[in-house]
Structure 1
Amino acid sequence: MASRSTNLLSRANRIRQVLQSNLEAIALRLKICHISMLGMLLKGDHEETHFNVKIVSAKFDGQGLVRRHRMVYDLLADELKNGLHAISIVAKTPQESGLA
């Protein structure tokens, strides 16, 4: 479960923080694609539910596409249990991205 201080951060900021710190990303782009209208109507909040993520990390070296995605999903397990509905992932190594 997220600590009280992380609950104060937006979902986008929490996702960015988790991915950056655990995957040591050299490039990370996070785009909010959808905000839950149901959350707005029922709870009055603007819950971010759908994201596109582009991440470059040396930790993806030697990992296939499915494993890379699994790494990201595992890191975001708490968010997925608590309102994150969908995430599109582009996960590359520094060499694949041209940043090496």
Structure 2
Amino acid sequence: MSATTSRQVPLAERPSATQIEALLQARFEPVRLAVIDESQQHAGHAGAAEGSHMRVEICSTAFAGLSRVARHRLVYDALSAQIRRGIHALAIIAEVP
């Protein structure tokens, strides 16, 4: 899934993997969490100027009983402000322990 921004956000204002990790940690108390900034892999592609490319791999009991789509929606909701601040693409793997 991809999240797009409507404007270019300066690199210094874009959320970092560390900031995203802290938000997800606080919201979901995951048993496993990795936030990977894949922006360098997309350098030169049209969307790279609009924002960062992030991968989130999260495993939390908060996702128990939810479909994959519902788990992704929770992650998108938790990161909505960061998406507006410059996440161009967000790949999510959200699992239950």
Q: Please identify the structure whose Cα radius of gyration is greater.
A: 1
TM-score, normalized by the shorter chain, greater than 0.5: yes
Distance in 1 (CA, whole Å) between partners of 2:19 and 2:25 is: 10
**Matched letter for residue 56 of structure 2:** V
2:37 maps to 1:32 = yes
Unaligned stretches of 5+ residues in structure 2: 1-11
**Matched letter for residue 63 of structure 2:** F
Q: Verify the 8 A CA contact 2:39 2:53 in the aligned structure 1.
A: yes
Distance in 1 (CA, whole Å) between partners of 2:28 and 2:34 is: 13
Equivalent position of 2:95 in the other structure: 92
2:84 maps to 1:81 = yes
**Matched letter for residue 24 of structure 1:** E
Unaligned stretches of 5+ residues in structure 1: 1-6, 40-47, 95-100
> TM-score by structure 1 length?
0.71
Q: Which of 65, 68, 73 pairs up with 2:68?
A: 65
2:27 maps to 1:22 = yes
Identity, % of aligned positions: 33
Deviation at 1:29, TM superposition (A): 1.0
The Cα offsets for residues 8-42 of structure 1, whole Å up to 9 and x where unpaired, read as: 9x521110001011001110011111157647xxx
- Report the 3-state secondary structure (helix = DSSP H, G, I; strand = E; otherwise coil) of the residue aligned with 2:38: strand
State how many pairs are aligned.
Answer: 80
Q: Verify the 8 A CA contact 2:18 2:35 in the aligned structure 1.
A: no
RMSD (CA atoms): 2.3
Q: Which of 12, 15, 24 pairs up with 2:17?
A: 12
- Report the 3-state secondary structure (helix = DSSP H, G, I; strand = E; otherwise coil) of the residue aligned with 2:86: coil
